[in-house]
Amino acid sequence: MADQTHHYDVLIVGTGNAACSAALAALEKTSRVGMLEKAPQRGRGGNSSLTVVMRFVFNGIEDLRPLVRNFSEAEMRPLLESLPHRTEAELWDEIMRVTNNQSDQEMLQVHVTESLKTVHWLTSKGHDWSPATIRDDNVVTMNGGGPGLQKRNFAILEKAGVAFHYETAATELIQDEKGRVTGVRALTPTGFAKFCSNSVVLACGSFESNPEMRARYLGPGWDLVRLRGVPFNTGDGLRMAMDIGAMPHGSWTTCHASPQDINLPAFTVPSAHSLRDSLTRYMYPWGIMVNTNGERFVDEAWDTRGRTYASMGRAILAQPGGIAYQILDAKIRKMNLYTPNYQSATTARANTLEKLAEELDLNVARFVKTVTEFNAAVQPGAYNPDRHKLDGKRTAGITPPKSNYALEMDEPPFEAFPVRCGMTFTFGGLKIDPKTAQVQHVAGRPIPGLYAAGEMAGGLWVGNYASGSGMMAGATFGRIAGTHAAIAALNS
């Protein structure tokens, strides 16, 4: 049977936040927008549908008020006391700090200067925001988190007449004689189909769901790691683009991976997900982490939680068996620091360190020695477990140190939470022109008709990441990609 054929001005591959933002922007110029999604409709929305926050610039309450019109100043004030602003300079410094100054500066410049504008633009499209909860790293977040954002996106795009093609996996880019990308070949439930378009936006994630690529680029052990997100982001867009000469960019050997409950399933799809039951285990800054030898292996608080958690998965994966235990004492419960999702956490509890070690099947003497040495190393100073600020209360004379929030572990009952590494997304992507999101060829010139956004655009994240940044980058560069893809389509 011959290929079926569809025609659009702008064709977008993926239905995550980057893809939906691209579609919203393209619709400002043309109504002939099509979207391809590998997942069935009930699994649409990508990792974006599993998220909580966006990290963006705001200079004070004035920038936030238009986003949270339904909330009073009194509801906002306690949040602003902890984080009164995140200026462009502050966001730039944060990302440079977590990436060890290796973030692509041209990309970062656009990310930083466009973030607040993009959030206000999303609001103008029908999105709304709410004050952040205690587990967030921001003051204001998408109303309903990623599921809420994506639900609104689909409602807006469907109403505008965007054509969605589900269970349709893009497999190949189509080019004309001049090298212009003129569409995509895709596998549909009834066979291959041709989707012709004047421009294509690739927004179909990185390669985090592909064990072969994880092993190839991230190294041994990463092939078997469990996913926090969808099983669909298998690097197809990267492969298709590189097959026609697109330039890879950014860090292909590092990724975002964080501590998760030991019972993390192999993957999660949006329809099976509830933010309330999230398996994230991000209480480690308030305690210590030990491996199965009963030894600490990482500085649990070298920076704030939002700037360390994406690197902690790698540290845990490197431990024997790829697992670790978060240990906390009763003071943390008394201070009410536990996030609600720890209510359903896998846990062990005991009134002595010895009993806890027995419960966990750890070498009792080694574990007790670790905690005793840790307690003796804690330096005097004011303890302040503020998730946005470091308190400088640290240990001295032990390796690894704990650089902030160091409190003696001496009040029973002691609790342990077994954790494993959960893969969030990989950092390797394509080189884009940050001002247009157009994909660059290895020959050093743009590929006509081809744009990329979201995880597919490499360069911003290297080695580590700051929470809420993936969604912000997806929306920012998705908007840019959709705008420029539509302009190019109409001028072609």
Ligand X SMILES: Cc1cc2nc3c(=O)[nH]c(=O)nc-3n(C[C@H](O)[C@H](O)[C@H](O)COP(=O)(O)OP(=O)(O)OC[C@H]3O[C@@H](n4cnc5c(N)ncnc54)[C@H](O)[C@@H]3O)c2cc1C
**What does the binding site for ligand X look like in residue numbers (CB under 6 A)?**
13-19, 36-39, 45-48, 50-54, 169-170, 203-205, 228-230, 232-233, 236, 424-425, 454-455, 468-471, 474
To the nearest whole angstrom, how small is the minimum distance from the Cβ of residue 208 to ligand X?
A: 8
What secondary structure does DSSP assign to 272-294, as a single string?
G--GGG--B---GGGSEEE-TTS
To the nearest whole angstrom, how small is the minimum distance from the Cβ of residue 480 to ligand X?
A: 13
Cα 290 to Cα 325, 331, 341: the distances in Å are 5, 19, 21
8 Å CB contact between 21 and 479? yes
Q: Which is nearer to ligand X, 175 or 375 (CB)?
A: 175
Q: Which is nearer to ligand X, 346 or 351 (CB)?
A: 346
Tokens for 167, please give them.
């269970």
**How far is C-alpha 131 from the geometric centre of its chain's CA atoms?**
20
N- to C-terminal Cα separation, the chain: 31
8 Å CB contact between 39 and 166? yes
To the nearest whole angstrom, how small is the minimum distance from the Cβ of residue 204 to ligand X?
A: 4
To the nearest whole angstrom, how small is the minimum distance from the Cβ of residue 234 to ligand X?
A: 6
To the nearest whole angstrom, how small is the minimum distance from the Cβ of residue 282 to ligand X?
A: 11
Angle at 398 between CA 397 and CA 404, to 5 degrees: 90
Beta strand extents in 427-476 (DSSP E only): 429-430, 438-440, 446-452
Q: Which is nearer to ligand X, 64 or 204 (CB)?
A: 204
8 Å CB contact between 24 and 12? no
To the nearest whole angstrom, how small is the minimum distance from the Cβ of residue 16 to ligand X?
A: 2
To the nearest whole angstrom, how small is the minimum distance from the Cβ of residue 292 to ligand X?
A: 26
Label the pairing between strands 169-175 and 181-188.
Answer: antiparallel
Closest CA to 170 of 15, 30, 1: 15
Beta bridge partners, 450, equal 200
Q: Quick count: other Cβ atoms within 10 Å of Cβ 473?
A: 30
d(CA 404, CA 431): 37
